[in-house]
Every structure is written in structure tokens, then in C-alpha cells.
Structure 1
Amino acid sequence: MAIDFNAVPPSTWAENLARGQLSKLQAQIDSQTKAAKSRGDALNQLQKALQEYKSSLTTLTGKKSLVAMNATATPDGAATVTAKGNAAAGNYTVFVEQLASSQQLLMGDLAGAVAKAGDKFTVKLGGGESFEVALDGADRDNDGKLSPSELALAINRASGNSGKVNAMVLNNNGVSQLVLSSGKSGEKNAISLDLTGISDDGLKNGLSAPKELSKAQDAVVWLGGKANGVKLQQGSNTFDNIQGVSFTVNKVSKDTDPPLQISVSRGDSDTTANVQSFIDGYNKIYKAISDMSQSGGSGKQAGAFADDSSIRGLKSQLNAILRQSYDGVTLGQLGIKATREGTLELDSKKLGETLKASPDALDRFFNGADQNGALKQSADYLDKWLNSSSGLLKLRRDSEDRNQKDLTRRQEALQKNFEQTYNRYLAQFTKLQSMQDQMTQTMSMFGANSNYF
């Protein structure tokens, strides 16, 4: 084959031969790089899908109950009420005899109070709790006196207080007075002081005869009416005595007022929406994993994880978690069934019938005993994949990173091999071109001198 270096320079010949010699290796690396990128993109999509599914589970878990209950209190403003899924529908009459309140004490004149070494006093609560206030170091400005501000700080920082009693300073017409407030309402939180450990008369006198601004008082309500109802008394205005129902009373009832009515009913449409929200989240992750792991054929392109048994195992396990019975309840009993494609669909009519017969069936399945139902089991399994330090996705990414580094090293080695092969061919073709040029010149000389022969 004649080589025309005027038409094709040595560099082009060298490059074409070098690339042809290494083309199979380059094609192999290109194919593997493309597959690695496809797997990396698929891992990103898988992580996004798993995180979205877990987020939907977290939202449902935060509702505490998938059964939506409607709860109202009339007249408006008399009380607020909430109901959980295990509440029974019904109407309740409540008479509020007394609201709970926290005690608040205004202490006496502390202008002459002095914190002597070793002085201390004890703050006691009506329910038996107490804590000690040591006054060593309470005089923070070292002026020899104990101001209301310094005393308030000593009380609030006392070991064992932890919010049982809050001390503050009231400034009124240039006079500072100490105010003590119980941290919680109710008779058990009434405040008293044991001053036997105080030697300073000024301090003792200022603390010994407080003025009660607010009384420590229990809430008293009558469930069913004051005349023939059940008396409920406690330190808080929020009552949880009715299973699944919590109501907070805001005002005292008068005999001439309309009775406080609490109504609880099941919100079927909202309950269905909660269940459908779970089904939508599951179907989305199921379809995403199915697309990534499909084998291809019949006009469909194979997914990035078509030959990956662990991804198929992920889909299988998410499905298996929902196929279990939780606290005696199954998906089928809740009107949730699998389609031919493996997704879920809801029969809302059957769900409603089940909840009429067993109002807590939905929460028994999804929340389970000790909050260990289908929601938590699914979330815990997702954590095995999503954990940022030891999750299966993290391990897969680490493996892909190592594979990518190996591909980069192989590409760099191939590039170096190409350059060496190219330079060798370039040297050979350049030498051949030089020889051709010399031969051409020699032949030209023979042609020019042919008349002499």
C-alpha cells in the first residue's frame, strides 16, 4: 500500500494506528464508565425515592393516629378538645365548678436583708416536694446586702428546683419586690417556706409573711352535670379521663349558662385520606424500584439494577413488612389489597365497615403495640438503607467510588499507552516520510541528468 504523506501527514497516520490498536480497550472502559454512571444516577434516584417514602411514614407517625376524629366543644371558648383514634364517638356534658390555678406570692420588704454565711431556707410544695436554697455566695456584688434580684437568682438556680418555683422581681414605684410563682397549677404545688435556717432577721421578716396574689387551686369538673355527674378533680385544667379524648376547660360554668357539650365523631373522609396517603407513598417507591430493576425485553430497556439481587430484595422486604399481621390486624381486613402489578389499592367502604366494628383496628396495624406497627417496621428497615454512616446505600456508593477510581486509573494508563504508541508510530512515519523525500530528490536528479547518458 502506497503511503502519500502529502495527502495524509505522519501525525494522522500515527494517531489512527494508535487508536485502532487500543480501540477495544477504550471501548471496554467507555462501556464500563457508562454503566457506572447509570448505576450512580440510579442510586441517587433510589435514595431520593426511599427518603420520600420515609418522610411520608414520618408524617403519618406524627399524627399519632391514622383514624381522624372530629371533636368540638360548645359554647365556643368554654373549652378546647382533641380526640385520638381510639376514642369512642359520643356526646358528653361537663359542668366546670372551678378552674386550676398556680399560686403566686408577693414577698415582704427585703431592704434590710443580709446573706450570712451558712444561711439557707427550704422551699416546700403542698404535694411533698421540696428543695433547699443555700445563700452562700448569693450576695453577688458583695455590698453586704441581699437584693430581691440576688435572692431570685439564688432560688431559680437552686439544686432541685428545676422549674418547680419561679422567682422574679416586681418593680413598682421604685420599689423592688420578690415574687414567687409555682411552676405548675393545683393544690399540690402550693408554696411554703421553712426559714429556720436563716439567722438574719431582715431576710426572715421579708420572707415570713407573703401576700397571696393567686391561689394554688385544683380544677373541679362534673362529667354528666353537677347534679348527678362524676366529680373529677386535678391540678391541671386539661382532663384525659375519657379514653382517647383530651379537653381543656377555659371558664367556670354558671347555673344559668348553657351546659358545656363535648362531641366526638369519626372523620371518615380524613381517615380515608390518611390511609390513601400511605398507599400513595408505598406505590411510588414500589414503582420506582420496579423500574430500576426491570429485566428489559418486549421493547423495554433493562433497568440499572436489572441483575441486582439486593435491590430486588429491598422491594420484596418492603412488601413483606406489610403482609404481616400487627396486633391481630391485616391489610386485607382494612380494605387494602394488592393489584396485579404489586401496588396497593383501597376499598374505603370495607375500611369504614371495619372501623365501625373495631375503631382501633387501623392504629393497631399501623402503630401497633408500643408503637411497633407497620409504620415503624417500615421506617426501621429503610434506616438500614439510608443510614449515613453504615447504610446499604452508603456501602453501595463507596463501592461505586472505588470502581470509578479504578476506571479513572485505567483510563489514565490507556491514555499514557496511547501517547507512547502514537509517538512510536509518529517517529516511524516521520522517518519513512524523510526517506521518501530523499528518494524523490534522488529520482529528480536522475531525471534532470538523463541527457548525459
Structure 2
Amino acid sequence: MSAISFSGVGSGIDTKTIVNALVAAEIDPQRAQLSSRKTTLDAQLSSFGRLKSALSEFQTTLNNLKTPDKFQVRSTTVGNEERFTATARSNAQPGDYQVSVEQLAKSQRLMTADNAFASSSTVVGSGTLTISTGGAYDPDLGNGFTVNIDPSKATLDDIRRAINNAPGNDAVTASIVNVDDGNGGTQARLILTAKETGVANALTVAVTEGTEPGLSALASANLVESRAAEDAIIRVNGLSATRSTNQITDVIQGVTLNLKSEEPGAEIDLRIGTDNSAIEKNVQSFVDAYNKLQNVLKDIAGKDSSGLRGDSTVRNLSSQLRSLTSGEVDGADPQARILAQIGVTIDKDGKMSLNKSTLNERLDDDFNSVANLFTSEQGIAKRLDAFVKPYTQAGGLLDNRTEGVNSRLRMLNDQQDRLDIREENLFNRLSRQFNAMDSMVAQINSNGAFLSAQLASMQW
């Protein structure tokens, strides 16, 4: 409010208190009404936020149940993980296999000849190195790269650095070791190690000599093979398979084998099964998220403080969720047509629970029927996800309701701003009027006093 002073000298009345009371009598009811509406709208925003969070959490659990590849989690058991480990995808067929690791895949290693270079600072020569994999370099195949060696940077260490930093080098790593030369001294040997295993990734080094001869010492013909490139060889149920890597993904469908050590002829048991514990965990998460969502809906619908008591959206969500969850699935196995048949039940209070023993029995008896109950086109998880999605998606039902509340809040803030201006204007207008009245009373009192004095001084 404006800083208007009040004297009250003329009238002897506390005019400031009167003005404040008059302003409050007109403004406070309107301010209280706006405040009440804001409290309700803020509560609605909070309720919609809680609801969307609970729905999103519920939808996440559906994602782990609505498709076969997510639902059909596979387990692997390896008889000896010192030889290999295994992971299985959903398309892996449960069953037993015998696997032996006959040979590990190895990367080729080449090194310079014995006593070819005294140290890493020894000048080798200039020119061009062409390093390729799987045979001679073929531009059409793009199976290699070139390294230009300048005469000013032609030491063994310069060449090591040039190879490692060469554009397009994804095939080889160059290093230098300083070892005994056999005569009481030391020598430097450049080592080229293929980055990939397998015969197909064996290295070939071609040299074009430059103005400073000597680079041909690094050509394949002059290098020593300290380790040959080898393919991995495994036997599965007596059948042989050869691959260039120790991570084998295409021998047993849906199974990745990570080879660790070789032992020819030693058969290791590999069992692929259904991972009931992972499925049980996903179903339990679904149950917990459903109960949390229903509790949020019940809390919002039942409290005035939520701002959404009796809201039709909330009522529809709660009833539809229960109906879609407890209803039969068309085309499902007669023994797994509703959730209750696999151990998921809803009591009279609407709380969902999971009987883990019943679920695991059904999984062991007929895994596919349980999977279909959730993952088929009319399955529980798919139809619930389709129902929830319009509420949670960007620009969906809840986003629209939230934006509507925010729009009303913005209008409310504008109304509060206008009310503040009106309050100030009313205060200033009343203040001026009461101050004018006070001045007038003061003037009248002054005139009365003057007249009284004049009358008293007259001689009658």
C-alpha cells in the first residue's frame, strides 16, 4: 500500500484503523476465496504427479511381461566355467548339450628378426608400409591401411608410433620390447599384434622402400611369427564348429559361448532352462506396482485434500484396472486363462497377492501357457499396457489434465495481481477521503474555537 500518513488530529478518530478495516472487509473475502482455489489446484497438481508416477512404474513392470523375449528369460548352467561361460537369449531352446573346447582362437603376433635393431632409436629406413589382414591389401575390400615413413622420423620408435596412430588402423597394435641380444647386451624388437583373433585376421606387411633404405626389414618375409593366428574350435554334441573368435554366438541358437581355456576331448555339460526366478521376480514387481497404483488411486479419490475427490478420471482408472486385470484372456489355455490360475489373486479389499509356489508349479507344468496369459495379443500385460499408455504418454490424458490445472493457476495468479492493485487503489482512495474529512473537522474545530473566543470577549 502507499505510504499515506494519518493524523487524526482534527477529529480525534483513528482513521487509519478505520481505513484498514474497510479495505479488509472488501478485499479479504476475495483473497481467501482465491487462496482456497489455489490450495485446491496445487493439491490437484500434486495428485496428478503422484498418479502419473505410479502409472509409469506400473507400466515399467508390464514391459517385462508383455513380450515373449522379455518374459521368456533363459537360465544357463555350465559344468565347468573354467572352460567356458554361457548366456542365453529368449529364443534359446531349453535343453542339454555337451560342449568341448578343442582350441581357443588366437591373434597373430609378428616381430622383427633377432638382433635386427640395437635400440628403439635405431634408424630403420623410409618409405611406405601397407598392413593388411586376411591376405594382401585389396582397396575394394578395405582390409588394410598404409603408413608413410618420413626420413626425418624413421627410427624404430617413430615407426611404432606411426603405425599405432595411422588413420584406418583397426587391425594391429605395435609395441617395442628391449631384451637380451645373446652377447651380453640388449636389442630392441618391434612386435606387431593383430587386434582380432582367427586365421582370417592374420597380418601381411608389404613395404615400398623410400630414399633411406632399410624399411624392408619390416616386410612379412623378414618378420618372425612368434604366435600364429588360430581359429576357435569347439565340439557340440560331438559335432565340430570353427569360428574366428572366442565369443561364439551362432552355433547353439540363442546362446553365446565365451571360451576361456581349451581342453581337447573334455566334454562339459551345458543346460539351457527357463529362469523361473527371474519370471517370479517380474510377476512380483507387477503385483507390487499394481497395489501401489491402487493405493494411490484410493488415496486420491478418498481425500478432500487431494483436490480430486470423486474425480471421474480417477474412478474410471481404478475400476478399469481391476476389470482388465481379473478378466479372462481370450484364446488362452483353459488352465491359465485368468491370473488366479497361476497364483495371482485379488482379495475383497482390492489388494493383489502372488502365491509363488502356484506360479512355479504352472511354469514347470506348462511354461508356454503362463507366457501366453501375459504376452498374447489379448494377454494381461498387453491389454493393461494399451489401457495405461494414453494416460502416461507425452501429451496424454494426464498431461492434458495437468496443463489445464496449470492454466487455471496462471489465471488465478493474474487475478491475485489485479486484487493487489485494487486493494492498493481502495486503500489510497479511502485514505485521501478520511484525511480530507479529518482536515475539514480540524478546520471546523478551529473556526468554532475562534468564534467562542470572540463571543466570550464581547461586552453585553
> What TM-score, normalized by structure 2, do the two folds share?
0.71
- In structure 1, the residue matched to 2:289 is 281
Distance 2:214 2:82 in 1: 47
- In structure 2, the residue matched to 1:172 is 178
The gaps in structure 2 that reach 5 residues or longer are 1-9, 180-185
Change (3 A) 1:385 1:76: closer
Question: Cα distance, 1:267 vs. partner?
Answer: 4.8
Q: Which amino acid aligns with 2:424?
A: E
Between the aligned residues of both structures, percent identity stands at 23
- In structure 2, the residue matched to 1:101 is 106
Question: Cα distance, 1:276 vs. partner?
Answer: 0.6
Question: Cα distance, 1:361 vs. partner?
Answer: 5.6
- Check conservation: 1:73, 1:81, Cα contact below 8 A: yes
Change (3 A) 1:411 1:302: closer
Question: Cα distance, 1:284 vs. partner?
Answer: 2.0
Change (3 A) 1:244 1:338: farther
Q: Which amino acid aligns with 1:170?
A: I
Distance 1:380 1:199 in 2: 72
- Check conservation: 2:198, 2:232, Cα contact below 8 A: yes
Match of 2:208 among 198, 202, 205: 198
Does residue 236 (structure 1) correspond to residue 239 (structure 2)? The answer is no
Distance 1:412 1:343 in 2: 47
Question: Cα distance, 1:106 vs. partner?
Answer: 2.0
Match of 1:72 among 69, 77, 96: 77
1:371-386 matched pairs, under 5 angstroms:
374=381, 378=385, 385=392
For residues 348-404 of structure 1, what are the alpha-carbon distances to aligned partners after superposition, in whole Å with 9 as ceiling and x for unaligned? 4553344335435666676789xx9958994997598465xx677666665555443
Does residue 20 (structure 1) correspond to residue 25 (structure 2)? The answer is yes
Match of 1:409 among 414, 428, 441: 414
**Secondary structure at the residue paired with 1:273?**
helix
1:6-45 matched pairs, under 5 angstroms:
9-45=14-50
Does residue 352 (structure 1) correspond to residue 350 (structure 2)? The answer is no
- In structure 2, the residue matched to 1:301 is 304
Distance 1:192 1:318 in 2: 66
Change (3 A) 1:272 1:418: same
For residues 93-117 of structure 1, what are the alpha-carbon distances to aligned partners after superposition, in whole Å with 9 as ceiling and x for unaligned? 333322222222224457554443x
Distance 1:373 1:113 in 2: 72
Distance 2:51 2:188 in 1: 64
Q: Which amino acid aligns with 1:287?
A: N
Aligned-residue CA RMSD (Å)? 4.9
Distance 1:327 1:100 in 2: 49
**Secondary structure at the residue paired with 2:98?**
strand
**Secondary structure at the residue paired with 2:87?**
strand
Distance 1:328 1:207 in 2: 68
Once the two structures are overlaid, the 10-residue window that deviates more, 51-60 or 246-255, is 51-60
**Secondary structure at the residue paired with 2:359?**
helix
> What TM-score, normalized by structure 1, do the two folds share?
0.72
**Secondary structure at the residue paired with 2:133?**
strand
- In structure 2, the residue matched to 1:291 is 299
- In structure 2, the residue matched to 1:121 is 130
- In structure 2, the residue matched to 1:182 is 194
Distance 1:312 1:125 in 2: 68
Length, aligned pairs only: 425
Change (3 A) 1:261 1:399: same
Q: Which amino acid aligns with 1:351?
A: L
Change (3 A) 1:418 1:76: closer
- In structure 2, the residue matched to 1:223 is 236
Change (3 A) 1:203 1:59: farther
Question: Cα distance, 1:253 vs. partner?
Answer: 2.5
Distance 1:158 1:62 in 2: 44
For residues 50-107 of structure 1, what are the alpha-carbon distances to aligned partners after superposition, in whole Å with 9 as ceiling and x for unaligned? 5544665678899964455553323452332334455555543333322222222224
Distance 1:321 1:148 in 2: 71
Once the two structures are overlaid, the 10-residue window that deviates more, 340-349 or 418-427, is 340-349
For residues 3-30 of structure 1, what are the alpha-carbon distances to aligned partners after superposition, in whole Å with 9 as ceiling and x for unaligned? xx99961112112222222344323322
Distance 1:409 1:319 in 2: 42
Distance 1:199 1:379 in 2: 69
Change (3 A) 1:59 1:68: closer
Q: Which amino acid aligns with 2:14?
A: P
**Secondary structure at the residue paired with 1:407?**
helix
- In structure 1, the residue matched to 2:147 is 135
For residues 219-266 of structure 1, what are the alpha-carbon distances to aligned partners after superposition, in whole Å with 9 as ceiling and x for unaligned? 222233xxxx222322233444334444333222266x6x42234454
